[in-house]
Structure 1
């Protein structure tokens, strides 16, 4: 059944000149809501653009508004025998009749309105999606992209989806296969410059329109649209690092922005009286003893929070590019030497200088006076100062993950067997971090230099922290600590100090970093430690650890 579509005669203002619906059988370029425009023109230059959404699925007509070129003839003659042009995979063929009396061609929404012409005839401008080559619908997350890739990138960021490639991580991404490998599609999104920090609202700004004009791909009368060229291999490698590190950080950090946004804050509880009591049977204990007991119970309680973070940092490290290729002894040295610094970087947003608090992942917080007891006033003051300076840089979680990786892979850690291999990988991480900072913090050319200075500040904090640990090492017989926590900070263990039901540990007081029996080395090798659970009232006491032996 043929349906008539009437158009408005511009001279008389009357409806005239019916068009058969065979002229309006419009193909679609995408199943993701992109508009398709078709051009009906005659020799006189009269041009009308029709939106595909003006027609319903049954082919009936609806009202529409024609658009005209600057010069037109009021007498419009529709093409006599047009052939609908199939549109597929970004290839747009323009059919030209033998007498050049009519053209049926797809006109893709070009926000820039850019066109081009050659000696052979006019050409229609085409802006492709920089990710898959489909028709771009606008400027999204920093680049010109289609609706499909815009939505895919938004979902990937919001839900923190972790993708994996079933091949070699080098799948080609184009319109017809873009849903086959989400890992490579997300990597391509990052490679072409998509960033969640580049969201645009409202009309496209002039600078963005200028960039879109540069991205226009001109479709010739007899050719096919060009596929967006791949970026350099070196830059792709950097984006691969950025993607891997960002995913590793999001999967193994409890202090990302979205996870701590709605925490319910409450003071941390320390059951000092239940553990020690406040009397010795003859009266109150001396003040010095009470302070030491407070120090011990606070340290043990904090250890229950920090031990799961050791596990997460180990997981994070193992997913860094080439980390598992280091000697196992070097992996252990890097984790033990860098854990405190990485933990501080992650915890920075949890320090509140105004209220003088440090908040843990479950919302429990410690005040400055409590932190002063656990550590000392000088160290706590320096930690708060570091947090204030670090937070002032306004890094996103991906950049914090990259900086954490740079911190962890420090080639000057004492005890490394192959520091050159570590240094080589750290240089790649710094280059990837520089790329992200240049793109996301273009107004701050000193951002990378400021972060490099933070490395020295962190090293100074580590030295002060080691001084504090000396007291706990000297009083190890009075402590009840998780073995993973004791190992990461080189605190000896004493079986005699353990009560019934306490954690079984090695009979040695201290396990060197070269021992295959250490909890950290077992953790690096097997990652079979149980998950530590934090309930509504604070962390649960740690279960007995039974790590697999390293083969």
Structure 2
């Protein structure tokens, strides 16, 4: 049994059909000045206003629109003199249409399907503007469950981080060597001595000046030791974060309801992305430093662990982009849940169930933003969050490649992480 398995013991408003009246619409019940109800001039039923230039009911309005769009010719089975009433109006379409035309209904006033849809959208937007968005009881429950799971499984003080193997920064930074930290090149090719005179990056301690005169083999040895100095710490850190994410997921009702195979598939796909979201909560967009309680991390620390610019550059751009949105804790946990319930992860079998879960969470996030945010451009926040989720997906595959490459050279990667990124079930 795999390590991971052991570790795991449209809410959409419904709009009623809108017709095109050709007269700006009518009220539910138009009345004369003496309060007597108006009647349909075609069949005598209760009128709902002027439609296509005549006073008609909803039934005759819809009939006229359909008849005008229908290519077939209508024929009366009798003598083209049928009396159209509320009860028999369905019996002869030909005479009913002639009655519509005789009272002045005009074909040219019928709106196209595109115009009708546009009008519906306008009415929907107007309603949304007039009626303030509110979270439903179900959405409130979703948010509270996510917050509770987050608080139970993730310590924002990062007090446990000091229990990991030390974060060794005694060696010179890889960025001092004037190149991207390509592991294969650093492990097998000597470096130019003049590149070692670059300034020391954040948290790096200066090395003896005598190293500038070291023989080529000594330089290569220093490079090898510099690559993985922070790897043991990051291995412990990653294991800790994965355990938190597993426990977070197991706390959620929607997640527990899934079969174990789908649970594992979702965790394999989302773990890296949720770790990024977690660390974004600690990211200082001014300094570019992750301020994790007693410890602080910079990009150079990830380079020392063996990660390369192909991953680190887009990762930094992601952290800056997401942090500048200044998300609330509720928005962060909803973003985590959207990532977790992704129905297109490899190995997922019950796509529809997971897709429904993701839709519930996504609509909850959208409604939360509309209900709780007050800034004028709040409508842009939801698409920006979704763009960040897409950006994380693009980094996921590169992360897996680099972890496997690091493991091939320096086998100190967390077994639980290797289980997460493995393609096997």
Which residue is 1:472 aligned to?
A: 406
Deviation at residue 394 of structure 1 after TM alignment: 1.4
Which residue is 1:296 aligned to?
A: 228
Which residue is 2:249 aligned to?
A: 317
Q: TM-score, normalised by structure 1?
A: 0.41
SS class of match (1:337): helix
Deviation at residue 486 of structure 1 after TM alignment: 2.9
Structure 2 unaligned regions, length at least 5: 1-132, 173-214
1:246 aligns with 2:178: no
Which residue is 2:266 aligned to?
A: 334
> In 2 relative to 1, CA 235–304 (structure 1 residues): closer, same or farther, beyond 3 Å?
same
Q: Contact conserved, 2:285 with 2:324, CA < 8 A, in 1?
A: no
Cα-to-partner distance string for 1:370-427 (whole Å, 9 max, x where unaligned): 3234311242221121111111111111211111011111111111111221111111
Q: Contact conserved, 2:231 with 2:412, CA < 8 A, in 1?
A: no
Which residue is 2:301 aligned to?
A: 370
SS class of match (1:365): strand
> In 2 relative to 1, CA 380–363 (structure 1 residues): closer, same or farther, beyond 3 Å?
farther
1:419 to 343, 351, 354: 351
Distance in 2 of aligned mates of 1:353 and 1:399? 18
Which residue is 2:362 aligned to?
A: 430
Which residue is 1:269 aligned to?
A: 168
Cα-to-partner distance string for 1:210-262 (whole Å, 9 max, x where unaligned): xxxxxxxxxxxxxxxxxxxxx99x9211211111111111222233xxx379x
Which residue is 1:459 aligned to?
A: 393
Which residue is 2:113 aligned to?
A: none
Q: Contact conserved, 1:296 with 1:479, CA < 8 A, in 2?
A: no
> In 2 relative to 1, CA 253–319 (structure 1 residues): closer, same or farther, beyond 3 Å?
same
Distance in 1 of aligned mates of 2:355 and 2:142? 15
Distance in 2 of aligned mates of 1:412 and 1:348? 24
For these two proteins, the number of residue pairs brought into alignment is 246
SS class of match (1:395): coil
Which structure shows the higher strand fraction?
1
User: Counterparts in 2 of 1:533-544, with a 5 A limit?
Assistant: none
Q: Contact conserved, 1:441 with 1:447, CA < 8 A, in 2?
A: no
> In 2 relative to 1, CA 295–488 (structure 1 residues): closer, same or farther, beyond 3 Å?
farther
Structure 1 unaligned regions, length at least 5: 1-230, 274-282, 491-511, 515-551
Q: Contact conserved, 1:300 with 1:479, CA < 8 A, in 2?
A: no
Q: TM-score, normalised by structure 2?
A: 0.52
Q: Contact conserved, 2:235 with 2:412, CA < 8 A, in 1?
A: no
1:389 to 321, 339, 342: 321
Q: Contact conserved, 2:262 with 2:348, CA < 8 A, in 1?
A: yes
Distance in 2 of aligned mates of 1:235 and 1:461? 34
